[in-house]
Structure 1
């Protein structure tokens, strides 16, 4: 993840759909040493690390994995962003 919050030319904010196969990103949820702190929001996911989970109309897709992730995230209530 670069300092601007991009990974593989994907801006890590916006509307996110969880899929079971062929994701844009494989994500592992951790409780320490994340690459990105994620705050879930109901609307206007404009800042890096703000994700709105949707069923359609997504900006990118993710798959939750237990090993070999593209990025590691930690869910937070405040101060989302690149670690």
Structure 2
């Protein structure tokens, strides 16, 4: 039974790593820059979590130039994100330092 549990955890970790590419993209969309939060029709669906995120996000007011740095805007976004509570494409955790892949 322990072997099954260990294998299950390994499979979950591998799929989380596969969601976000090494170049910090999801399905070809970069995960930094100017981000607009929308209620529907986003480029991706994200769930905000307190632990075990796929991406750590730092909200910034300027220079969103690195993985996980999001400048929240209301127009002309690089990425549109729909926040959901179930069935997300990725899970994010808001942080004040060290954004990016955990």
Q: TM-score, normalised by structure 1?
A: 0.97
Residue 24 of structure 1 aligns with which residue? 43
Larger Rg: 2
Equivalent pairs counted in the alignment come to: 83
What SS class does the counterpart of residue 63 from structure 1 fall into? strand
Instruction: Give the distance between the partners of 2:94 and 2:40, measured in 1 at CA.
Output: 22
| Corresponding position: 1:61 with 2:80 | yes
Q: Which runs of 4+ in 1 moved over 2 A?
A: none
User: More strand by proportion, 1 or 2?
Assistant: 1
Q: TM-score, normalised by structure 2?
A: 0.80
Q: Is 1:11 the equivalent of 2:30?
A: yes
What is the aligned partner in structure 1 of residue 3 from structure 2?
Answer: none
1:52 corresponds in structure 2 to 71
RMSD of aligned Cα (Å): 0.5
Please give the per-residue CA displacement for 1:35-72, whole angstroms capped at 9, x wherever unaligned.
00000000110000000000001001011100000000
After TM superposition, give the deviation of residue 2 of structure 1 in Å. 1.1
Aligned to 1:33: 52
